[in-house]
Structure formats: structure tokens, C-alpha cells
Amino acid sequence: MVSTPSSADGQRLAERDYVQGGEAQTAVKILVVGHFAVGKTTFIGSISEIEPLSTEETMTRAAESVDDLKGVKGKTTTTVAMDFGRLTISDRVVLYLFGTPGQLRFVQLWEDMARGALGALILVDPERLADSFAVIDLIEQYGLDYAIAVNHFDGNPQRAEAALREALDLLDDTPVVTCDARDEKSSAAALTTLVRFLLDRAS
């Protein structure tokens, strides 16, 4: 038997860091997206069975305008992070949750994340609705089914769902659920709403 290997900071990986029953597991993923500071990392952390991890990628910035790259020696690169968590669903399915801010210029990252995803949960701050337009567009562009989770921050007034639907221009069947990303049960309920919707759509 091998001893447990260590990660970057010299910490030993524990047995629980590994996928339980990995040889029989099918991995699936759901995206948790939303604008800056909407609560993505908090959400993932609240239901992940592992300490949320992040990866960084130095990548070529897709030319928003090709001219931007003209005359630039080499490629324009930038570093982005996405974070993710894991949830063992059963001895057959392990679910990964991937979170990243919605920035269209990180095309490769978005393609990696979106490819094969079951769907997306879009976190929305009702006080900053306009900030969510870009990420909703992006998810639609990738053809992913999604539900909206309104991350309710303390002290803010409750807003009517109808107004929010109208502001975000949602389809009638798009689920909208309120959640507190810091609370495991609340986050799980939002995720459950999404999965139930995805199942309806797949029927």
C-alpha cells in the first residue's frame, strides 16, 4: 500500500480527498455561475464534501477585437480562476460543481466548463440584477438549461419574483429559488430545484 501523496503545500492528501469508489463512478458536473462576489464560492463550499479547490489557467485572451492583438509580440495572456467542489451522490455518480465568474473573453475556460455539463445554477443578487445579464447570455449561448438562485443578502428587502423575472427576461418555466449560499440545506435545496427542472426537461 502506498502512503498518501502530498499536495502543493506539502499537506498529505487524505483518503477522503479521493473519489470514493472511483473505479465505479461516473463523474458529472453542474455549473454554479454568477457575477463578481455574488456568492459562488460560498455556495460551492457550503455543500462540497471536499475543501473547495481552485485551478488557474493562463490563457490567450480571445480577441474581442482582432486589432487589439495586432503588433503584439507573442500572445496576450491572463490568469483566471475557477473553483469547484465535489459531492458523492451514490456509488455510481459523483457530482462536481464548478464556479466561475461570467467573463466571455475566457472562451477556452468556458468551453471546458460547459462541455457536458448537466446544467447551470445562476446565482443572482437582487440588488444588482443588471450585473447578471452577461452571465445569463453566456449560459444560454452554450445551450445549457439553468435555474436562477437568488442569493439573498441580509438587510436587503425581499423583492417580488415577478419583477425579478421580468427584469431578467426569464422564460415562464425557468425556476427561481431564493437561497442563502452560506447554508448547506438552503444551497442543496437550490441545487435540487435545478436538478428537478433538468429532469423534467430530459423527459
Partner 1 sequence: MTASEEFELSDAGLVRAYVITKGRGLPDDDQLSLITLLTAAPEQGQRAPRLSPEEERLLDICSAGYLSVAEIAGHTRLPLGVVRIILAGLTEGGHLVTRPPVPRARKADRAILEEVLNGLYTKFG
Ligand X SMILES: Nc1nc2c(ncn2[C@@H]2O[C@H](COP(=O)(O)OP(=O)(O)OP(=O)(O)O)[C@@H](O)[C@H]2O)c(=O)[nH]1
Query: Given the rule CB under 5 A, which residues bind Mg ion?
Result: 40-41
- Using CA atoms, how far apart are residues 149 and 194, in angstroms rounded to an integer? 9
How many chain residues interact with partner 1 (CB under 8 A)? 57
Greatest CA separation for the chain: 59
- Using CA atoms, how far apart are residues 8 and 145, in angstroms rounded to an integer? 36
Establish if 57 lies at the interface with partner 1 (CB under 8 A).
Answer: yes
C-alpha cell recorded at residue 15: 483518503
Sign of CA dihedral 94, 4, 83, 113: negative
- Give least dist CB 105 to ligand X, A: 15
- Using CA atoms, how far apart are residues 103 and 36, in angstroms rounded to an integer? 10
x/- map, 146-175, partner 1, by CB under 8 A: ------------------------------
Which partner in Mg ion, ligand X, partner 1, none is near 4 (CB below 5 to 8 A by kind)?
partner 1
Establish if 122 lies at the interface with ligand X (CB under 6 A).
Answer: no
What Å distances lie between residue 119 and 2, 5, 71, 197, CA to CA? 37, 33, 40, 10
126 vs 175, beta carbon nearer ligand X? 126
Strand 77-88 relative to strand 53-60, pairing: antiparallel
Establish if 58 lies at the interface with partner 1 (CB under 8 A).
Answer: yes
Establish if 128 lies at the interface with partner 1 (CB under 8 A).
Answer: no
Question: Footprint of partner 1 on this chain (CB under 8 A)?
Answer: 2-8, 13, 15, 17-19, 22-23, 25-29, 47, 50, 53-59, 84, 86-87, 89-90, 92-96, 98, 111-113, 115-116, 118, 184-185, 188-189, 191-192, 195-196, 198-199, 202-203
